[in-house]
Amino acid sequence: MPEMSLQQSLNLALRHACEDDDRVLIFGEDVGRLGGVFRVTDGLQDKFGEHRVFDTPLAESGIMGMAVGLAMAGWRPVPEIQFDGFSYPAIDQIVNQVARMHYRSRGALPMPITLRLPSFGGIRAPEHHGESLESLFAHVPGLKVVAPSAPDEGYHLLRQAIVDPDPVIFMEPKARYWHRGTVDPAEHADRPPVGTSRVVRPGRHATLVAWGAMVARCLRVAELAAEDGVELEVLDLRWLKPIDAEGLAASVARTRRAVVVHEAPLTAGLGAEISALVTERCFGELRAPVQRVTGYDVPYPSGALEDEYLPSVDRILTAVQTTLEYRRG
């Protein structure tokens, strides 16, 4: 199996999607000639032409409006908004058109749109270049939301998103673009369906639930905990809408404790939804309340303060210690 970075695996997924379906169109700011800020679309315009891979004006609402029109005309648009913090001007189109058009038209107008959104922090970028918007998009009926954590996941999840009949917000963890791993495109036909999580490290004392770049951080925590004889299970949620409630419950039922880790602020973050699902489905098995390790309830900081904001290994280990030491009554 070839080894490649997440950035390269996403590029390969887009290349294969364009080869498999002439209706796939890739567009956004600088995705054509430049190949995107993170070079995810590098070389695609040369291969497929300017009519299928093309640049747009700097107008996020216009990009998503174009995607809606193209989807209505039978295309499969794959727009890119350059940074997650730039997506706010397009929220009107995403919520009122992309998410609702299929419902509003009683099924006559499907919206097979995959919005690629470089997301989260970890690259010390300036303000508005790092956000964690998963709970905003997951709250909107009609949207699916997914966040890969590794190169092989990036390839297969993006391929799944593009062929899905519903609109998908594809949140790419910027901090993981350059991390490498093996990717086997031949495995794609055997991948689990949309809405499936994966256990990336089995354990028995507690479950760490994460997605995107936080999966790698939780794996590091699990390695450190193992030195003290604590076996932590790491669950990569992958699909944030729909959430794999059965897979989540199965993992927590095995370990009887859970810690949810995400970069977004604590209040009304996706960790709250996960905590509710665990409580509803595993109340009898739980030996401790679900712990959450998150960003703080402040605007996402610029790069100078990013390390103070993001969930650290020490903060996650502290939450693990808290849940392991909890005693009822």
CB neighbourhood size of 196 (10 A): 15
For the record, the structure tokens of 142 come out as 């009609």
Concatenating the DSSP letter of every residue in 281-313 gives: HHTTT-SSPPEEEEE-SSPPP-GGGHHHHSPPH
Nearest to 300 by CA among 257, 273, 269: 269
Q: What are the CA-CA distances from residue 177 to residues 145, 151, 184, 264, 270 (Å)? A: 19, 8, 18, 19, 23
Nearest to 142 by CA among 104, 187, 194, 191: 104
- Cα dihedral 1, 17, 28, 39, rounded to 10, equals 20
- Decide if 90 contacts 99 (C-beta within 8 A): no
Nearest to 210 by CA among 224, 198, 194, 223: 198
- Decide if 206 contacts 324 (C-beta within 8 A): yes
> Active-site residues: which are they?
129
How does DSSP classify residue 192?
A: P
**φ, ψ (nearest 5 deg) of residue 316:** -70, -45
Q: Residue 167: is it exposed, middle or buried by C-beta count within 10 angstroms (0-12/13-18/19+)?
A: buried
CA atoms within 13 A on the CB side of 276: 7
For the record, the structure tokens of 118 come out as 């470089």
